[in-house]
Amino acid sequence: MAIKLHHEIVTLSLRHTFRTSREASDRRRNVICRIEFDDTIGFGEAAPSVYYGQDADSAGEALRQAAGRLSGDPFHLEDLVDDMARLLPHQSAARAAIDIALHDLVGKRLGVPLYRLLGLNPERTPRTSITVGLDRPEMMQRKVRELGPVPIIKIKVGGSDDQEVIKAVREVTSATLRVDANAAWSAPQALEKITALEEYDIEFVEQPLAADDLEGLRWLQKQTRMPIMLDESVRTADDIPRLAGCARGINIKLMKCGGLREALRMIHVARAHGLQIMLGCMVETSAAITAAAHLSPLVDFADLDGHLLIENDPFDGVQVTDGKLILPDRPGIGVRERSFEQEGRP
Ligand code: MG
């Protein structure tokens, strides 16, 4: 029986122009992938990131190459995922799409939700943060008010007025606040900024320094009690051992590491090094977000809001209720395709 792979590039419209210290955008092009085996279809998604040298076209090309190579038993997940890592070493998002679709397929063939296949308790999902992009203080206040009563907010910083931004946000919300600088600061600057942020009750600061400034990070984490979480500094399990002592924890994303199997390895390697774990995302539809959410009972923090930033999410999957991730109990990753015609949406 052949394993068939189809892919399609989708243009996602964002609810707000999304700014980080590096970029701004109001549309994203992701790639949806379908893997078919004996009348069962598994869904997957690639959310390629320019930061990692990938875009929808290169991810689509990678999936085209993969389509000619996938064969054998789809339950041989380790073999298939290893083979893809050799074939497409620089296309982590495309590999994540294949890995997610295979897990969806296998769960559907067995008739069990992915969390069950992994032996996880769906009650243990954490609450997710909702991310607010970089903006002027008064705009940040407006965006935070528009969110309504959410329990955790992640604020992108790294502009010239970070302290004013956080002060303004704190004035309009009592939510738990997390801060992500996306590598925008130098070590001395970060210590000054973090010290100034302490009075606003921040849960942690993500990636304050450049990805490879491990000396700076080690120094900074010794100087402050503020937990530092690393995102850009870590992609796969191999990156983790050298980060012990440089931060309190790491941010794992399926699109960086290449999928659920590598994310699982990372979770165990991070735990062995005494690191906390956050599960993050890119701007992703409910397909990839729901896949990641199935791992979330294993982690300390979730930042799985990518689907909530999109106006035209083609899938329906994990739900967010008072911030809590509610996993679907359908087989596989448990997402369903939405019909926009029926709903009268674009
Ligand atoms: Mg980040």
pLDDT at 251 over 60: yes
Judged by phi (left if over 0) then psi (alpha if -120 to 50, else beta), residue 183 lies in left
> Which tokens sit at 125?
């999902």
- Banded pLDDT at 259 (limits 50, 70, 90): very high
The single residue listed with the structure tokens 């320019």 is 50
DSSP label at residue 29: E
Distance from the alpha carbon of residue 314 to the mean position of ligand 1, in angstroms: 24
- Banded pLDDT at 345 (limits 50, 70, 90): very low
pTM (2 decimals)? Answer: 0.95
pLDDT tens digits along 324-344: 999 999 999 999 999 754 444
Distance from the alpha carbon of residue 72 to the mean position of ligand 1, in angstroms: 37
Distance from the alpha carbon of residue 180 to the mean position of ligand 1, in angstroms: 6
- Banded pLDDT at 17 (limits 50, 70, 90): confident
Whether the CB-CB separation of 33 and 6 falls below 8 Å is answered with yes
Residue 25 has what pLDDT? Answer: 79
Whether the CB-CB separation of 263 and 257 falls below 8 Å is answered with yes
Distance from the alpha carbon of residue 281 to the mean position of ligand 1, in angstroms: 8
Q: Which residues surround ligand 1, an ion (CB under 5 A)?
A: 180, 206, 231
Distance from the alpha carbon of residue 162 to the mean position of ligand 1, in angstroms: 16
Distance from the alpha carbon of residue 104 to the mean position of ligand 1, in angstroms: 26
pLDDT at 99 over 70: yes
Distance from the alpha carbon of residue 1 to the mean position of ligand 1, in angstroms: 41
Give the ranges where 198-304 is alpha helix by DSSP (H). Answer: 214-223, 254-257, 260-272, 286-293
The single residue listed with the structure tokens 């699109």 is 255
Question: 249 forms bridges with which residues in the sheet?
Answer: 229, 276
28 closest CA partner among 270, 301, 293, 310: 310
Distance from the alpha carbon of residue 227 to the mean position of ligand 1, in angstroms: 14
Distance from the alpha carbon of residue 179 to the mean position of ligand 1, in angstroms: 9
Distance from the alpha carbon of residue 22 to the mean position of ligand 1, in angstroms: 11
Distance from the alpha carbon of residue 242 to the mean position of ligand 1, in angstroms: 19
pLDDT tens digits along 45-71: 999 999 999 999 999 999 999 999 999
Mean pLDDT for the chain overall: 95
pLDDT at 176 over 70: yes
What percent of the chain is helix, strand and coil (3-state, nearest 5)? 40, 25, 35
304 closest CA partner among 273, 280, 334: 280
